[in-house]
Amino acid sequence: MKIRRYSGSARVPLERRAWPDAVIERAPRWLSTDLRDGNQSLAEPMTPARKLMMFDLLVGMGYKEIEVGFPAASRDDHDFVRMLVERDLIPDDVRVSVLVQARDELIERTVASLEGARRATIHLYAATSPQFRDLVFGMSRDACKDLAVQGARLVMKYAERTLDGCDLGFQFSPEHFNDTEPDFSLEVCEAVMDVWQPEAGREIILNFPATVERATPNVFADQIEWMHRNLSRREHVCLSVHPHNDRGTGVAAAELAVMAGADRIEGCLFGNGERAGNVCLVTLGLNLSTQGVDPGIDFSDLDRVRRTVEHCTGMPVHPRHPYGGDLVYTAFSGSHQDAIRKGFDAAEREAERTGTGPADQPWRVPYLPLDPRDVGRTHEAVVRINSQSGKGGLAYVMSTRHGLTLPRDLQIDFARRIQAVADAEGGEIPPDRVMEVFRREYVLDRVPDGTTGRGVPVAAARGTVTLHVDTGHAGAARRDDVAVYAEYRVDGACHWGAGIERDVQAAALAAVRAAVRRAGPDPARARGDAEEKGRHGRRGAGRALRVKAGR
């Protein structure tokens, strides 16, 4: 592979930077550009119907600023804007924006597309980086600045003519800001501000894109802090950032930018967008939420959000995508599963102790970034079994999926058997298969009289039987079934059996018979003793009834 350095990220001479010590204590303003930057990156851009579905989703989630297209680009983009305006589909508390280049005829058409809108923002952009000036525009710095200034003037000219009565906002982006000399970005922005004249009640949005992410996120943070410190009329400027994810650090860049003074972030759901995507709004929002900061966006049904995004973009969300991927709340590895189970148990105990619900406590469960229920998932799939799993995970599946709380030594015994199945069969062992193996290993088949407790001869003579009565309902069978586990120790070995029956006595007998049967064909004397002691079985959390079976 050839190693070539990109020539051109612009570093700023920042001294005594403040952003490293900053803490984000409130959410920035969000702008969703799913319908513009997200849409322009699709092989098949969204139809107006899909755009509307995405728009409704964004509005429903609580986004208040939505870039709805590039009306001069295509008929679909233009028609969609007209549809929103003419059908009055934009809620009063939502501001839509449209993007345009600094080109006269495009600006005229773009402004015209908004005719009749009550509130809207025109977003003008012009690239400012030396590479763009040299390679694409063939312009000097002054000519490039002029392009932006002329663009701003044209927006105002056409808006005055066409958008009477519209609460008009204005946004300017020096495209490739992250590659642009900082003093030149500042010069262009100041010149554009001189045209728009921001003041109280007339903000300007200055949006700084990392059009192609080229450097570590600290470099972007420095650039933003430098702009934040040096822009004039700062109180009337909404300082916005627009990170891309080419180096995979779009989220970090956005967060550090907020620490450095940014007020607003532009991005897309699940990081759709040009090349490696725009910064992901879902990750940013839920990152805040897990720090205890309200993002102001509703993520409570994240699977529905994901399905809608997948439908509209025609692209699947990766199973490992932060917060929204299929597998991000699932552990296969044993030690993770064990810690998760203990974390859930501790939360329940704490809830009981304090008389609160588990959801009211701070989230402390290891290996899970948040409570899956907070984003509309369940706890069912947090543990899945394969060859990497251990007894803790198995106990979790048995308890949550089948209602059986296995004693620790039985968990160990069962884990060995499941491991053998996993090694032999490979792949995942779904919960029903786990139960099938449990029944095969520990539960006697039902006999013609309908129970496992009678009619099967018990042959046991020596050893001890300890009965463990399960207090949970045995979801594996009927809701009101009782499970009893028999731990039969004989000749230095331990044999487990389980009984799942309507009442505790029948379950105890069945468990003893199963354990004795598993011990092999030997002793014949345990039967009477075990049946006698089983009759005294009691239900109770964690209670083990010791029964001497044989002498």
Ligand X SMILES: CC(C)C(=O)C(=O)O
Ligand Y SMILES: CC(=O)SCCNC(=O)CCNC(=O)[C@H](O)C(C)(C)COP(=O)(O)OP(=O)(O)OC[C@H]1O[C@@H](n2cnc3c(N)ncnc32)[C@H](O)[C@@H]1OP(=O)(O)O
Residue type, 64: K
Query: Dihedral, CA atoms, 259, 264, 267, 271, nearest 10 degrees?
Result: 30
User: Segment near ligand X (CB under 6 A), from 108-116, 207-215, 380-388, 402-410?
Assistant: 207-215
Q: Is 129 in the site for ligand Y (CB under 6 A)?
A: no
Residue 439 amino acid letter: R
CB nearer to ligand X: give 123 or 336. Answer: 123
CA distances from 368 to 266, 322, 341, 345, 378 (A): 27, 11, 11, 14, 13
DSSP state of 135: I
Interacting residues with ligand Y between 170 and 189 (CB under 6 A):
175
Which residue from 9, 32, 97, 101 is in contact with ligand Y, where contact means CB under 6 A?
Answer: 101
The binder of ligand X chosen from 69, 209, 267, 534 (CB under 6 A): 209
Strand pairing category for 544-548 and 464-470: antiparallel
Q: Binds 242, which of ligand Y, ligand X, none (CB < 5 to 8 A, cut-off by type)?
A: ligand X
| 211 belongs to the binding site for ligand Y (CB under 6 A) | yes
Residue, CB closest to ligand X = 209
504 — phi, psi (to 5°)? -65, -35
Q: Residue 387: name its binding partner from ligand Y, ligand X, none (Cβ under 5 to 8 Å by kind).
A: none
**b (16+ CB within 10 A) / e for 46-61:** bebebbbbbbebbbeb
List the single partner that 72 binds among ligand Y, ligand X, none, CB under 5 to 8 Å by kind.
Answer: ligand Y
User: Contact 137/127 with Cβ under 8 angstroms?
Assistant: yes
**Closer to ligand X at the Cβ: 213 or 529?**
213
Between 29 and 311, whose beta carbon lies closer to ligand X?
29
Q: Is 529 one of the binding residues for ligand X (CB under 6 A)?
A: no
Q: Among residues 212 and 328, whose Cβ is nearest to ligand X?
A: 212
Question: Does 37 appear as a known binding residue?
Answer: yes
Question: What is the footprint of ligand Y within residues 256-295 (CB under 6 A)?
Answer: 274
Nearer to ligand X, 206 or 516 (CB): 206
User: What is the chain's percent helix, strand, coil content, to nearest 5?
Assistant: 45, 15, 40
- 176 marked as part of a ligand binding site: no
**How far apart (Å, rounded) are the C-alpha atoms in residues 182 and 518?**
78
In angstroms, the Cα distances linking 243 to 37, 66, 221, 319 are 11, 16, 11, 23
Residue 153 touching ligand Y (CB under 6 A): no
Q: For residues 12-41, which are near ligand Y according to CB under 6 A?
A: 37, 40
| CA separation for the pair 131, 175 (Å, rounded) | 11
207 binds, among ligand X, ligand Y, none (CB under 5 to 8 A by kind): ligand X
Q: Give the pair of three-digit tokens for residue 48.
A: 């107006």
Is 150 one of the binding residues for ligand Y (CB under 6 A)? no
Pick 73 or 96: Cβ nearer ligand Y: 73
Beta carbons of 253 and 215 less than 8 angstroms apart: no
Query: Is 379 marked as binding a ligand?
Result: no
Element (H, E) at 545: strand 544-548
CB 533 within 8 A of CB 549: yes
Among 65, 175, 225, 470, binds ligand X (CB under 6 A): 175
179 binds ligand X (CB under 6 A): no
Q: Can you tell me which of 103, 247, 311, 318 binds ligand Y, judged by CB under 6 A?
A: 103
Does residue 213 interact with ligand X by CB under 6 A? no
Compute the least distance from the CB of residue 135 to ligand Y, in Å.
10
Q: Where are the beta strands (DSSP E) in 256-333?
A: 264-267
Binding residue ranges: 37, 242, 244, 278
Annotated binding site for Mg(2+): 37, 242, 244, 278
Contacts with ligand Y by CB under 6 A lie at 37, 40, 70, 72-73, 101-103, 106, 125-127, 136-137, 147, 175, 211, 274
